[in-house]
Structure 1
């Protein structure tokens, strides 16, 4: 049992599979200027977590505590914080990639990484949303400025980012096309998808055309192939920078646009997401929840690449 000065967290000393994750007791952080200390109640687990666990990507060599999603309660505020007070229920994403560390009982972060948790959902639901919803919002709204009636193609539409992107695109009035295995089509229709392509049996480049915006959540050759389905001046937004070296050159050749983006912590974006949640237009589908101590099991399930929706760690 942790005392007033320590907390439990999930850490790792080496890169590798889920088995490298271990529960440790570490010093509880203290909020600095413009920061808040949040008692974490729920934290989503995302593909970027298991990729960093295995490869280090941006974080380099361990030890480190993973996790960017947070839903919890403000425990203390640092000097100068006015947007939150102790006792406030908040949710948000820690600054990506270096503000990592939410797979723990407490976390500190800039106060404006968080917004008020929507009162209509619990911490599990709120803890599943920040990274995937901000990714989809920043891709479809901030970057692509999706408008009513536009045709939007979402790859891996039943995944964490994908199923949220479908809902955000629909909330913007778009006609939404998704790629997913056939068994997930009914789920996606319930979320509002207008047209679905079974990627296992159909080449999407032959099944769809005149698309305004493509959200590439897959990497590999998906972004480059997606350029072929765009209308003139259409846009591919890839959330996996560096996955394709020929993307910009091929886009220029075809007279279309392509950008690569990383999600950023965003107070305004979190407030917009909270409004969609409160309006009943956005909800995370929870694939499974795990106690913090079972983080390795969550990672093992995530590694399969077969989950629908989000995996969430619960701290209570």
Structure 2
């Protein structure tokens, strides 16, 4: 590891972005406590040639940032620095970085919650270069801070779990092909706990493609916002299940903020269904799509995932070609006819084994930060999508100012005040 003084000298030499020795951070000292502001905390040092130091300009608040301390999970150590996504400026880059330069406006995506240097709740954040995305001029820091985690979750769910090929969309990746080719290389081992999902989660003959239907339950979430756009860009047809009293007008395409944002991106679903009565929603899906609905993506939790499962083709009865439940993800599945139905649960899956003809999937989020080739493929593609305007960030519905305002922002999220968009914290003194 290079000495901290060397980093500061290097940063000063490379640009006008001088890096101080200390900074302000938010620390969580114990579960069920608010975050505490500390003003004299060391600026993190780079430990690898592909790491960057980013000066934080705006932070996107995520539900995990209040749920983790409230329910005491996802806290690998205390005191803890939370925060999963931010936008800012590259202040320093390692010797192995070539794609990004000091001064670049970027969004940094931290799915690696165990490394406190990468937590967004601080003035200077370490990020892998392959988890960092240049912002085009038309995308503000605030908007950039809303995109990252939702995009990663959505694209991995579609591209790996469901096998969607994005090569026809701005030269995007075929993630399933990429991951399985990497698995054959001894130099790029896949994390053990997601290896089976990546290699045998879905058969080549089952992959979702143009014309296929996907139902997205919880379509008001930011991950769903990304998933709808990506699925439509890849040629899939989308049934969105959402509380239409709160979000129907926006998803139907009649919100001025969205109309002003883009003219090239299709983010409206093909079928909009009210989730207020889950049984009715299932009936509508089955009546309209029947056996055509083989793919589901749930963003809410186990209960709604169970409802979505009832709408998939596998719920209509045992497959004639397969009279027993498919083997678990750890075992490769033989190709069957008719194809299997696939349910991805972002925050939970139904209890028990899937029904005959059905498969459950969990999003292999580790691919983004533990497999550089995957992380870089997604980051480079996201740059293209944002630059072309084909992917629209979520609407920013509130901006707080200063790290000390994070607790108030998270309280608003706890109270259910933030719906249909994202809440962002702008660091004090920054004009974005």
**Normalization by structure 1: what TM-score?**
0.90
Q: Aligned partners of 1:152, 1:214: CA distance in 2, in Å?
A: 5
Give 1:262 shift: 4.4
Q: Aligned partners of 2:306, 2:127: CA distance in 1, in Å?
A: 36
Give 1:270 shift: 2.2
3-state SS in 2 of match to 1:104? coil
Partner of 1:115: 133
Give 1:83 shift: 2.4
Partner of 1:278: 387
Asked if 1:102 is matched to 2:120, the reply is yes
Cα displacement string for residues 167-214 of structure 1 (whole angstroms, at most 9, x for unaligned residues): 222222222111221231111122311222221135222120332321
Partner of 1:158: 220
Give 1:240 shift: 2.0
Partner of 1:215: 297
Asked if 1:311 is matched to 2:420, the reply is no
Asked if 1:28 is matched to 2:43, the reply is yes
Partner of 2:322: none
Q: Aligned partners of 2:312, 2:132: CA distance in 1, in Å?
A: 35
Which ranges in structure 2 are unaligned for 5 or more consecutive residues?
Answer: 1-18, 165-207, 254-266, 287-291, 315-339, 370-374
1:103–1:313: 8 Å Cα contact kept in structure 2?
no
2:278–2:307: 8 Å Cα contact kept in structure 1?
no
Give 1:273 shift: 2.2
3-state SS in 1 of match to 2:145? helix
State which of 109, 127, 149 in structure 1 corresponds to 2:211.
149
Q: Aligned partners of 1:62, 1:231: CA distance in 2, in Å?
A: 46
Structure 1 consecutive aligned stretches of length 4 or more whose deviation exceeds 3 Å = none
Q: CA 1:197–1:304 in structure 2 vs 1: closer, same or farther (change >3 Å)?
A: farther
Q: Which moved more, 1:286-295 or 1:57-66?
A: 57-66
2:32–2:72: 8 Å Cα contact kept in structure 1?
no
Asked if 1:295 is matched to 2:406, the reply is yes
Asked if 1:188 is matched to 2:203, the reply is no
1:212–1:231: 8 Å Cα contact kept in structure 2?
yes
Task: Give matches, 1:256-271, under 5 Å.
Answer: 256-263=358-365, 264-265=368-369, 266-271=375-380
Partner of 1:139: 157
Q: Aligned partners of 1:173, 1:222: CA distance in 2, in Å?
A: 25
Partner of 2:78: 62
Cα displacement string for residues 12-48 of structure 1 (whole angstroms, at most 9, x for unaligned residues): 211116xx12222211112222211000111211112
Q: How many residues align?
A: 307
3-state SS in 2 of match to 1:149? coil
Partner of 2:357: 255
Give 1:78 shift: 2.3
Q: CA 1:262–1:21 in structure 2 vs 1: closer, same or farther (change >3 Å)?
A: farther
1:176–1:193: 8 Å Cα contact kept in structure 2?
yes
Give 1:162 shift: 1.7
Partner of 2:238: 176
Give 1:244 shift: 4.2
Q: Aligned partners of 2:296, 2:391: CA distance in 1, in Å?
A: 20
Give 1:157 shift: 0.8
Q: Aligned partners of 2:296, 2:212: CA distance in 1, in Å?
A: 11
Q: Aligned partners of 1:304, 1:195: CA distance in 2, in Å?
A: 30
Cα displacement string for residues 58-115 of structure 1 (whole angstroms, at most 9, x for unaligned residues): 2245311111112111101123222222112222311433235112111012221112
Give 1:141 shift: 2.3
3-state SS in 1 of match to 2:46? coil
1:163–1:188: 8 Å Cα contact kept in structure 2?
no
Q: Aligned partners of 2:297, 2:416: CA distance in 1, in Å?
A: 18
More strand per residue: 1 or 2?
Answer: 1
Asked if 1:42 is matched to 2:153, the reply is no
State which of 274, 278, 283 in structure 2 corresponds to 1:206.
283
Which ranges in structure 1 are unaligned for 5 or more consecutive residues?
Answer: none
